[in-house]
Structure 1
Amino acid sequence: MVKKYVFLLLFVCLQNGTIFSGGSLSSGKQESVSKPVNVEKKHLFSRGSGYWTDPADESTTGWFSQLTSPASQRENWYKVSPYVAEFWCAISNVGFLYVGYKHRSPELMAAGLASLLSHSIPKQWLLSVDKAGVLFVLSKVLREYKVFKDNPKLLAPVGLAGLINLTDAYLARNKGYTLPHVVWHLSAALLADVVLTAAKR
């Protein structure tokens, strides 16, 4: 199952001809931006202009116009495509979409789509929708609590997924790394697949 996700991700990357190029997965450290940005705190990720946003939007405070906060940013914006702000984080949601389709789970499909949109269009309100999608997935997992009761070994990958999520938050906010968030997306999708498969037995 892991191979399926890896091959699928690599296929998408190779199709775009951008693997390990400007939007490198290994690091998202500060790079030069096309326009100066007047902010109080130095960003670990660059917030350049693209189709959806411009550095001038930093001062906007409207609900639908406010940009994603630096604390929630996971990648240099528009380094791979001018239409997708956080390219690698966006395409790594293929795992959620695939697992959601495989198990006919609207919760996973909605979560994958919400995350895809929030990483593509860096708006704070879309990030809120993304977080709501996470809650939908958690509700789905909680409804399958009997699976964990019958298969206590599944608690180990759940703990691992939680550790990956915490590591992602730390490395992104303090070191400026993108890869952990991609790993988080794929590992969470894999965990959902394992749980839902066990629930059908």
Structure 2
Amino acid sequence: MKKDWSEYYKITKNKPPSKLLVRSLGYVKNKGKAVDIGGGALKDTKYLLKQGFDVTVIDSSELMAKEAKKIKSKKLQYFVSSFDKFNFPENTFNIASAMYSLPFNSPNTFNNVFNNIKKSLIKDGIFCGQLFGVRDEWSKNSNITFHTKKQAEKLFSDMEIIDFKEEERDGETANGTLKHWHIFHFIVKKIKS
């Protein structure tokens, strides 16, 4: 699914970091390495850098690379890649942040990507992000992955669930378009190395 993300980047570039990410950092034992999956305009990446993390950011858009080049930090690595093509290193990250990005994996690659992210965490590493539920307005798009609550919970069966909230509401996208949202917000911890 090729999409022009330039409008989204302009709109989100100067927004504050994601509230779920900020809350998730309270569960991270050591501020070592972080991965920002679908980093977009890098608002969360910049926040993680300010918190002292070495940050790896992955996004399929060249716009991310353009923004990343403006950040002068030896603590930042960035990769223009789809998630399914990225080689996630095992047992590396203290936190994996995937803010509204995971559903944009196709159903064909989703489980593999999801498992690779979990494997990339160190023991006690934190994974936070969102999944889209089956009642989301975009659910007819076969390039996006959707889950029932039971399916979403099963994805975390080998992890400690710190927070798992289902949200269903009418609201706006980043560009102001109205839509029906069905989302699962999660913060989980890897319990096995």
TM-score normalised over the length of structure 1: 0.25
Q: RCO higher in 1 or 2 (8 Å CA, sep ≥ 6)?
A: 1
Q: Quick check: which one's strand share is greater?
A: 2
Q: Quick check: which one's helix share is greater?
A: 1
Larger radius of gyration: 1
